Amino acid sequence: MNFVWSTAIIQFLFGIVPVALIVFGIIYSRRKKRPHRS
């Protein structure tokens, strides 16, 4: 049971972390890419 749960958690983390990083990068870039002069 522990092995199955650990593999499931690892797969979940490896599936969520990249998406969270991409979303965070997009939000950060959108917030940063706002020049004062249009």
pLDDT digits (tens, 9 = 90+) for 1-38: 688 999 999 999 999 999 999 999 999 999 887 766 66
Using CB atoms within 10 A of its CB, is residue 3 exposed (0-12), middle (13-18) or buried (19+)? exposed
Phi, psi of 35 (to 5 degrees): -70, 150
Residue 36: DSSP 8-state: S
pTM for this prediction: 0.52
